[in-house]
Every structure is written in C-alpha cells, then in structure tokens.
Structure 1
Amino acid sequence: MIVRNTADVPIATVPHSPGLRGKELVSPADEMGYTAYEIVLIQDQIDYDLEGRSSNHMYYCISGRGRCSVENGEEFEVTPDLFMAFSSVVKCKITVTSEDDMRLYCLYCQDDDPSSDRVVVRSLSEIIGTDRDVDFGSGHSRRFLLRDDNFPITVTNTSIMTRAGTERGVPMWYKHHKEAAYYIRGIGKYAWEEGKEEAEFHAGGTAFLMNENDPHYAMPVEESFTICAFFPALVGNEKHVFSGGYSVYGAPQ
C-alpha cells in the first residue's frame, strides 16, 4: 500500500501534456498500469490543450465548470462529476467558464490501439441506476469505463456509506486488479495488513495505491466518495469481497 496526500506532493509539469502542471499521485515507478495527476485549471487562462501523446488520456471533473472542444468539432460542457476518456490520437481544448478554478483528476495509460479515434463522455447522473451502478452492500461503485469500452483501465466514482458496522471497516479487495483510490469527499481512514497499518483520508485529497493488490478496510466517519482506477479493466459485475478476491477478468465476453 502506498499513501499520498495531495498537500505533500509538489507541483510539476505533466509529461503527457506539457501545457499542464499538477501533482503526480500515481507515478510510473508505482507500476500500477497507469499514471494519475490532480491538476487545477485557472479561470483567467483562455484555453488548455489536453493530449496524451502516445497514451490514452482521461479526466474526471471534481469541481468547476468549463467547455471542452474536440478536434473533430464536437463540443460539450464540463461540469462536476463528468468523466472524459480519449484515445491517444484525440486532442482537445478545455476552457474554464466558472468563476472558480477547475479541479481535475487526470489519468494516462498505454494505448493498445493508437490508430483508433475513441471518445467516451459520461456524467455520474447517467450512471446512477443503470447496470454500471453496482451496490456492494456498503456503497456504490459507479463505473464510467469497463472492458467493453476498449480502454485498458476502469474508472469509477465509488461511495462508501456510514451505517451500523462500518466503524469496524468495509472490506475491499480486487485480487486480480491493481487499484488506486483517490478520496475527494469525506473523512475516515484505511486499514490494511490485518489492521497493522492505518492511514487517514480527507477531502483535500488522499490517494491509496493498492500496488500489491492489498486487502484493505475503509472506515468512513461520514459518507465518502473516491475516484477509483483499476488495471486491468473490470468486466462489470465484480464486487468487493475477501473470499477469494472475486474477479471475472479474462472471462469470455
């Protein structure tokens, strides 16, 4: 388990998009199958170029509002809890239109089909109540990307609710996937190595990297929300369990 707090990470240039600067929360050295940054786009700069160079590039809007223009002429509004995924050949620009700065969680991963023009744009409201909204008993895993979307990772908005018993910990484990959970709302703590290790999370931004497929427990003090990324991508019906680390990755489609 690797724990990183946004406040402790220096701001640096994002290698995939030289015009962006942010805080590296998942690095290539972590060997997670993807890298991730938190970046802040300020309101008074007109356009920001978004590109992945040779990588797929993805963006989750945590706060702020703006407009995204894709090279093919497509345009759409960027609002909180909107997720955007682009293959490496797709370039776009984003303009902040709100009075507040825009806070984005950005992910980059290998593009296995670099000639393919792939764009996925989904809001959280579109996911809720569908088969991509998986109730695991103590919260919901809302899945923006699955294997069928032809990206190598899955990105979710996952809620963890407080209810009787959660003070003892909500068990979580994807045995066959590496997972990074970036907490954007709520407070609480994680425990792993059978409770021998603990760390707090807070809404300012705390990243937990299960780089060794670590079984872990979430102990929320209040309802909490995290952006999770899994490598390889989920099929769609996986749930958090400790009994064998259930995953159907690799099963026929």
Structure 2
Amino acid sequence: MIVKNVKDVIGTDQEVVTENWLSRRVLLKKDGMGFSFHETIIFPGTETHIHYKNHLEAVWCVEGDGEIETIADGKKYALGPGVVYALDQHDEHWLRGGKEPLRVICVFNPPITGKEVHDADGVYPAEVADAV
C-alpha cells in the first residue's frame, strides 16, 4: 500500500512552480500505479497553452474559478468546484485562471515522472528520466 500526504511534497522537487501554476506531484511513474496524481493551483489571471499530445488527463476542480477554451472549436467552459473535464482526445486548449486561485486534482496517463513542464507548444515530453 502507498500512503502519502500532499503536505510532504511541498518544498520538494515534486512541487513544480511556473509563473502560471504550481503542481504538487503526489503519485508518479516510479510509484508503479499506471497513472500519476497531482494537486495543481492555477494562478489568478493567467493563461496557459496546453496540448498533451503524449498524455491523457482528467481534472477535477475543487476550489476557485477559471475557464478552459478548446482551440479546435473555440468552445469555452467555466471551471469551478465540482467540474470535471477529461482531455480524452489530446485536446489542445487554453487554461485560464479566474479571480481566485483554481485548485484542481489531476490524473495523467501514462504517468509522468514529476519533472515535466510544458514546452513551447504546450506539450509534456513523451519520456523524461525518472527522478532518483
């Protein structure tokens, strides 16, 4: 059994911070679950281009507000507590923070190693060396 507390990730290399978001990567590829599990905070007023060509992601919004806009069709979806969205078609999108920090719980398949950040095209690489 694996038991972890997100508080134990804070301030470690499993907490990745960019100018737009903070991601606490709790379960990673090295845990052998077949998916990774994260708590992410989207900062207010930010806009992040995302296109997970190599991963599927499901997101559960638990606190705050924001918006997701799919680039292919320009559809916009309000994000807030209780909203779940799944990028089942590797949907290219804009993720926008609202007035309050948006706290979400994310699952990635295949699992990430914990070192990933978006490249210039909004993509996580297919393979990043595992953290030791």
Determine the structure 2 residue equivalent to 1:7. none
CA–CA distance in 2 between the matches of 1:244 and 1:190?
A: 14
* TM-score, normalised with respect to structure 2: 0.87
The 1:173/1:244 distance shift into structure 2, 3 A limit, reads closer
Contact 1:171 1:241 in 2 (8 A): no
Secondary structure of residue in 1 paired with 2:4: strand
CA–CA distance in 1 between the matches of 2:79 and 2:124?
A: 26
1:177 aligns with 2:55: yes
**Larger RCO of the pair (alpha carbons < 8 Å, separation 6+):** 2
Q: How does 1:74-223 map to 2 (within 5 A)?
A: 119-163=1-45, 166=46, 169-194=47-72, 196-203=74-81, 205-221=82-98, 222-223=100-101
Secondary structure of residue in 1 paired with 2:2: strand
Of 225, 228, 247 in structure 1, the residue corresponding to residue 106 of structure 2 is 228
More strand by share: 1
**TM-aligned CA deviation for residue 186 of structure 1:** 0.6
1:237 aligns with 2:119: no
Q: Percent identity?
A: 27
Deviations 1:189-247 (A, max 9, x none): 110125611111111x1011100111211222211100000001102211134527231
CA–CA distance in 2 between the matches of 1:186 and 1:194?
A: 26
> Which segments of structure 1 move beyond 3 Å, counting only runs of 4 or more?
none
Contact 1:158 1:226 in 2 (8 A): yes
Contact 1:136 1:240 in 2 (8 A): no
Number of aligned residue pairs: 129
The 1:242/1:206 distance shift into structure 2, 3 A limit, reads farther
Q: List gaps (5 residues or longer) in structure 2.
A: none
The 1:252/1:134 distance shift into structure 2, 3 A limit, reads closer
* TM-score, normalised with respect to structure 1: 0.48
The 1:135/1:252 distance shift into structure 2, 3 A limit, reads closer
CA–CA distance in 1 between the matches of 2:16 and 2:41?
A: 10
CA–CA distance in 1 between the matches of 2:18 and 2:68?
A: 17
CA–CA distance in 1 between the matches of 2:73 and 2:6?
A: 33
CA–CA distance in 1 between the matches of 2:43 and 2:109?
A: 25
